[in-house]
A and B are shown apart, each in its own frame.
Chain A
Amino acid sequence: MTTDAPAPASTSPERYVEVQRSDEFAGLRKALRGFVFPMTAAFFLWYALYVILSAYARGFMDTKVVGHINVALVFGLLQFVSTFLIAWYYSRFAGAKIDPTADKIRGELENGDKE
C-alpha cells in the first residue's frame, strides 16, 4: 500500500477483534443498525408507495386539493419534506447516540496502543 497515514498499522489485528467483541462496541453497532436499517426501510417504502401510486393510482393522484394543486404534487413535495426531516433527525440521533460512544472506543483503541 502506498500509504501516507501510518495510523492503522499501529493497532494489532487482535485488538480489533477484542474491541469488536466488547459489549460497548456491540451496543454501538446495535444503536446504529437499529436506527439506519428501519429508517432505510421506511423511506424506501414511502418512496416506493409514491412511485407505485404514480403508476397505478392515477385517479387518486389526480384529485384536486386546492386550485390547480393536486394530490400528486402534494405527495411529491412531501417526499422532499420527509427527506429533509429524516436527514435532520438522523444527524441529531447520531450526534447524541453514536458519536460519543464511537469517540470513546476510538480513544481507547488509539491510547491503548501507545501504552
Chain B
Amino acid sequence: MSAILAAEAGDTTARNITIVLFLVFVAVTLAITVWASRQTKTATDFYAGGRAFSGFQNGMAIGGDYMSAASFLGIAGLIALYGYDGFLYSIGFLVAWLVALLLVAELLRNSGKYTMADVLAFRMRQRPVRTAASVSTVTVSIFYLIAQMVGAGALVALLLGIRPGTTFLGMDADAAKIATIILVGALMIVYVTVGGMKGTTYVQIVKAFLLMSGAAIMTVLVLAKFNFNLSSLLGAAADQSGKGEAFLEPGLRYGVEVAGNAKQTFYNKMDLLSLGIALVLGTAGLPHILIRFYTVPTARAARKSVLWAIGIIGTFYLFTLALGFGAAALVGGEAIRAQDAAGNTAAPQLAEALGIDFLGGDTGGAVMLAVIAAVAFATILAVVAGLTLASSSSIAHDFYANVIKKGQTSEGQEVKVARIAAFAIGAVSIVLALFAQKLNVAFLVALAFAVAASGNLPAILYSLFWKRFNTSGAVWAIYGGLLAAVVLVFFSPVVSGAPTSMFKNSDWQWFPLSNPGIISIPFGFLCGWIGTLLSKESDEQKYAELEVRSLTGAGAH
C-alpha cells in the first residue's frame, strides 16, 4: 500500500524526471542519427550500415532490436500476475535463437545482400518471389509495429500518471495517448529516413545498454531484498499472489485446466503447444532480425553476433524472472492490476518500490520510476525503428527495384524510394495504431511470430537446404503460411466472440485456439513442398552457386 500512496506524492517528480531523461535519450539518438546520415553515402550504408559493425556491436543491436516492450514490460507483467507461465514466453524467445544460429544467420549473410528476399529469390524467378517476400515482410512488420505503438500510447498515459480526469500539459489521458503514438511514429521515421541502418543500429545499441543496465540494477536490488535467496523471493511472491504454490507452477495463464470442461481444457493445452512452437520457430523468420546479419563484414562475424545476442538476451530473460517475481512480491498483483489489467506497468511499479526502499523515500522512488519509464520508451523506439527499416528496405529493394524496375534502377534512386517507403510505413502505422488503440491488440506480437514461422521460415530453410525447391514452392510457402496464420487468427477468440476479444461485441469465431502456429506452421511447410512438386522448374547451376556461396562465403557482398 505504501507504494501506491508514495506514487501519488511522487507523481510530479517522477513525471518531470521521466520527461527530462526521455528528452535526453531523444536528443542523443537524434544526434547519432544526424552523424550517421553523414556516413551514409551508398545503398550498402543505408541498408546494411556499410557492413562495418563488429560481432559484439551487432549482438547488442540484435538485443536492442529483439527485446521489445512485449519482452520487457510484457513478460515481467505476465510473471507478476500469473507467475510461472510468464517464464514460458522467455524460454521460447531465447531457444529460438538456436534456429537462427545453426541454420540461418551465416548462410544468409554469405548469400544475401540487403533483404530476406535476396536469399529466397537467389535461384528463383525474381518478381513473384520478391513480391511475396515483400508482402510478408510488410505484414509481419506492421502487425509488430501496431502492437508496439499502441503499447507505447497506453504506457505513456500510465507512466506519466495520467488517469481519466487528470491532465498533463493540458492533455487528458486520451489526448496524451494520441500524442504519444504520433510522437513515436515521427521519431521512428526520422531515425530510419535520416540515419538508415547505421543510425538505427546505434539507437538499438544504446537502448540495449540502457535496458540491460536498468534490468540488472533492479535484479540486484530485488535479490538483495531477499538476501540473494531465490527460494525466499519465490515464496514471498507466492504468498503475496494469494494463489500459493500454484503461482510457481505452470497453468495459471496458459494451458489452463477448466474444471468440468474437458473440451476447453484440451483447447487450452493445444494453445500452449501452439504458442510454444510459434515462439521457437518465429525468430529466424522475422525480417527485421534477418537484415541485422547483413550489417557485419563476414559470416563469422554474423555467428559472433548471434552468440553475443544469445548471451545478452538470455541474461535479460533471467533478469525478467527476478523482476516479475519481485514485482509480485514487493508490489503485489492487486496494485499492479489497479494500474494496468495486463500487468504492463509491473516493472515500472517495481522500480518505484525499490527506489523507495533503497534510495531513501519518495524521491528515490520517483527517480527509479522515472529511469525505468525512460528505458521503456527507449525500448519501444529502438524496436519500431528496426521494423520500419526492415519493411522500407523490402519495399525499395525487393518491390521497387526488382519487381517494378526489374533491376534497372540506380542505387541512389533505390535509397530514395526506401526513405519514402519508411515515411509511408510510418504514416500508415500511426493511422492504424490510432484506430487500434482502444482494441486489445496484445496478440499481434504472437501473430507476427506465427506468420514468420509459417511463411518465411519454410521458404528460407527450403531455399538454403533443398535442391529441388523452386519459384512455385517459395511463393506457395510464403502466401500459404501467411494466409493460414492470419485467417485462423481472424476466426479465433482473440479477434471475436470472447470477453477479451479485439471485437468483443461481435462473434464470427470458429477456430478455437488463439495461436495458429500448430496448424499454420506445418501447413506452410506443406505448401512449400506441394508448390515445389507442382512445378518442373529447377536450376541446378544456380543452386550450386547458392550452396557454394552460402557455405564458403565466396563472392559474398
Contacts of B303 in A (CB 8 A): 91, 94
Q: Separation in Å of the B489 CB from the closest CB of chain A?
A: 20
Bound-state CA distance A57–B401 (Å) is 53
* Pairwise interchain contact B411-A4, C-beta atoms closer than 8 A: yes
Partner of A68, one of B235, B304, B317, B410: B235
Contacts known (A4-B44, A51-B276, A72-B250); A83 close to B269, Cβ less than 8 A: no
Within B218-258, the residues touching A (CB, 8 Å) are 230-232, 234-235, 238, 245, 248-251, 254-255, 257
Check: B554 CB closer than 8 A to any chain A CB: yes
* Pairwise interchain contact B249-A72, C-beta atoms closer than 8 A: yes
Contacts of B540 in A (CB 8 A): 17
Partner of A8, one of B98, B232, B555: B555
- Known contacts A39-B98, A69-B231, A109-B555, then 4 further A-B pairs from the complex at CB < 8 Å, ordered by chain A residue: A7-B557, A19-B548, A51-B273, A79-B95
Contacts of A2 in B (CB 8 A): 43, 401, 407, 409-411, 414
| Closest A residue by C-beta to B269 | A55
Within A11-52, the residues touching B (CB, 8 Å) are 11, 13-14, 16-17, 19-21, 25, 28-29, 32-33, 35-36, 39-40, 43-44, 47-48, 50-52
Contacts of A28 in B (CB 8 A): 551-552
- Taking beta carbons and an 8 Å cutoff, which residues of B are in contact with A? 42-44, 84, 87-88, 91-92, 94-95, 97-99, 101-103, 113, 230-232, 234-235, 238, 245, 248-251, 254-255, 257, 269, 272-273, 276-277, 280, 300, 303-304, 306-307, 310-311, 314, 317-318, 401-402, 407, 409-411, 414, 465, 540-542, 544-545, 547-549, 551-557
Q: Separation in Å of the A101 CB from the closest CB of chain B?
A: 8
* Pairwise interchain contact B273-A61, C-beta atoms closer than 8 A: no
Contacts of A16 in B (CB 8 A): 541, 544-545, 548-549
Bound-state CA distance A3–B251 (Å) is 53
* Pairwise interchain contact B280-A47, C-beta atoms closer than 8 A: yes
Q: Separation in Å of the B110 CB from the closest CB of chain A?
A: 9
* Pairwise interchain contact A105-B101, C-beta atoms closer than 8 A: no
| Closest B residue by C-beta to A5 | B557
* Pairwise interchain contact B276-A106, C-beta atoms closer than 8 A: no
Q: Separation in Å of the B225 CB from the closest CB of chain A?
A: 15
Q: Separation in Å of the B326 CB from the closest CB of chain A?
A: 14
- Taking beta carbons and an 8 Å cutoff, which residues of A are in contact with B? 1-5, 7-8, 10-11, 13-14, 16-17, 19-21, 25, 28-29, 32-33, 35-36, 39-40, 43-44, 47-48, 50-52, 54-56, 58, 61-62, 66-70, 72-73, 76, 79-80, 83-84, 86-88, 90-91, 94, 99, 102-103, 105-106, 109-110
Bound-state CA distance A72–B247 (Å) is 12
The number of inter-chain residue pairs (CB within 8 angstroms) is 183
| Closest A residue by C-beta to B412 | A2
Query: B84, B245, B545, B554: which has the most chain A beta carbons within 10 Å?
Result: B554
* Pairwise interchain contact A80-B317, C-beta atoms closer than 8 A: yes
Contacts of B88 in A (CB 8 A): 51, 54, 76
List 26 A–B pairs whose Cβ atoms lie within 8 Å, in order of A's numbering: A2-B409, A3-B557, A4-B42, A13-B541, A19-B544, A19-B548, A20-B548, A25-B551, A36-B103, A43-B95, A43-B98, A48-B277, A51-B277, A55-B254, A55-B269, A58-B257, A62-B249, A79-B95, A80-B314, A80-B317, A87-B98, A87-B306, A102-B551, A103-B552, A106-B552, A109-B548
Bound-state CA distance A66–B98 (Å) is 30
Partner of B255, one of A5, A54, A94: A54
Q: Separation in Å of the A44 CB from the closest CB of chain B?
A: 7
Contacts of A21 in B (CB 8 A): 544
| Closest A residue by C-beta to B401 | A2
Contacts of A33 in B (CB 8 A): 465
Contacts of A8 in B (CB 8 A): 549, 555, 557
Contacts of A105 in B (CB 8 A): 548, 552, 554
Contacts of B232 in A (CB 8 A): 67-68
Partner of B99, one of A40, A54, A66, A102: A40
* Pairwise interchain contact B97-A83, C-beta atoms closer than 8 A: yes
| Closest B residue by C-beta to A63 | B249
* Pairwise interchain contact B552-A102, C-beta atoms closer than 8 A: yes
Contacts of B238 in A (CB 8 A): 68
